Amino acid sequence: MKLVRDPVHGYIELDERVLKLVSDPFFQRLRHVTQTGLAYMVYPGMTHKRFEHSLGTMYLAKEFSSFIKRNSEVDFLTTEMISLISIAGLLHDIGHMPFSHTFENVLATLRQVYGEEVIEQGKKTHVIMGEKIISEELSSVLEKEFSFVGVDPVKFIINVISGKYNTEEEKLASLLISSFIDSDRSDYLLRDSYFAGVDYGRFDIERLKRVMLYVDGNLAILKKATPIVEEFLLARMYMYENVYFHSVVGMYNAIATHGIAKLIRESIIEVPLRPKELLKLNEFNIMSELQKHGDEFYIGLMERKGFRRIKQDITKECINADEIRDEAMKESFETNGLIMYHDFFDVPYMEDLGEAIYIYDGKEIERFSSVSTMVRSMKELKKAIVAYHVKVKDRIDKLERMIKECK
């Protein structure tokens, strides 16, 4: 048994079986994958990594499962199943590329701006790579250490992290790791808030743990704890508005995006398609190659020099936002990324078909929107920014005018 001292959750226990996964090179590489991309350029404390977030998600998945077992009549939540659910939490981000979601932006930019033929699956890119790592590289450890009667641990974890569940056990595990209120979001809100030095993402996690249950095939919260759910959703919305969607954070993510795209277009680095290729690519060698070949992008990231942002953001009220995006992308292509467009989009909460937060009053469950007036007022978060290098300032007059006229 090992104890990890975590600044968010206190001590996290790792037994010998978990240590075999944590010690694997594919998990250890997460020590060098920045959790929030280039957010540290604005919030200097946000240099934390996917490694500790994955440990925190594992811890909360186990905590949530244990309290659900206590609060609900769920026969399948055995000790072995709770352990396996926690391992799904541990491995949910194992496929992330360097700089996390920023690398996924690189792939989208290569295709949309530069017309490159790349395999790009948006935010599912890391999930698909994670499935490959789990099935090709970690299967022997999982099958040896986490198999029990009737359950294939490799298939279980892949189904859970992909959201393609087939059994009641897989459904609950998937909800605990990826839903409106889950162990992933709970950890990253608390962790990112802590390292950013802000209070926006804080909520009462100890209370939340104790009011979760599983009813009629749905993850639910006791009705008396409705304020906790509102607190959680507001915490997430405030983190997106003030930290993740900070305009200058967006600019630096865009600089990194176009810098890495340049390295790929010039065949200096390659997009990893197989797990072993991913082991060879990390943030250190990307920055090293940018130093040699990245010119303005490297100086922009390392010295904060050269790049500027058109001060007015493009908001969701802008009626010609599509025209601005198309013009910015054309300029981006023609200037090899020295003019760049970066957009932000998130929906704080939206009920759709089976996806909802459910509230349980002791007799029946109901959707959260039926009991909370606050959540009905939450709107999508949407904006975009345009940034440029001072070398091409003479080319942004049209974009500046379009944005200024945007109402």
Q: What's the rounded Cα separation, in Å, for the pair 126 and 206?
A: 30
Q: Beta 10-14 vs 2-6: how paired, if at all? A: antiparallel
Read out DSSP for 365-383? EEEGGGT-HHHHT---EEE
Q: Which backbone phi and psi does 353 adopt, to 5 degrees?
A: 50, -115
Query: Exposed/middle/buried for 332, CB within 10 Å: 0-12, 13-18, 19+?
Result: buried
pLDDT digits (tens, 9 = 90+) for 230-254: 999 999 999 999 999 999 999 999 9
DSSP class of residue 123?
A: G
pLDDT digits (tens, 9 = 90+) for 367-379: 999 999 999 889 8
Contact 348, 229 (CB under 8 A): no
Sorted by where each starts, the structural domains of the chain and their CATH numbers stand as 2-306 (1.10.3210.10)
Q: What's the rounded Cα separation, in Å, for the pair 157 and 61?
A: 13
Angle at 241 between CA 161 and CA 180, to 5 degrees: 30
pTM for this structure? 0.96
Residues making up the chain, counted from first to last? 407
Amino acid at 140: S
Above 70 in pLDDT, residue 381?
A: yes
Q: What's the rounded Cα separation, in Å, for the pair 377 and 356?
A: 16
The tokens describing 369, both together, are: 């929107």
Q: Give residue 73's pLDDT.
A: 86
pLDDT digits (tens, 9 = 90+) for 382-404: 999 999 999 999 999 999 999 99
Q: Give Cα 346 to chain centroid, integer Å.
A: 12
pLDDT band at 123 (very low <50, low <70, confident <90, very high): confident
pLDDT digits (tens, 9 = 90+) for 174-229: 999 999 999 999 999 999 999 999 999 999 999 999 999 999 999 999 999 999 99
Read out DSSP for 128-160? HHHHHHHHHTSHHHHHHHS-BTTB-HHHHHHHH
pLDDT band at 353 (very low <50, low <70, confident <90, very high): low
The angle that helices 321-334 and 397-405 make with each other, rounded to 10 degrees, is 170
Contact 125, 97 (CB under 8 A): yes
Q: pLDDT averaged over the chain?
A: 96
Angle at 111 between CA 105 and CA 116, to 5 degrees: 130
Average pLDDT over residues 9-35: 98
Contact 116, 265 (CB under 8 A): yes
Q: Give residue 121's pLDDT.
A: 81
Contact 281, 99 (CB under 8 A): no
Q: Give residue 406's pLDDT.
A: 84
Q: What's the rounded Cα separation, in Å, for the pair 237 and 349?
A: 9
CA dihedral (266, 270, 271, 274) in degrees, to 10, reads 160
Give Dmax (Cα) for the chain.
68
Above 70 in pLDDT, residue 407?
A: no
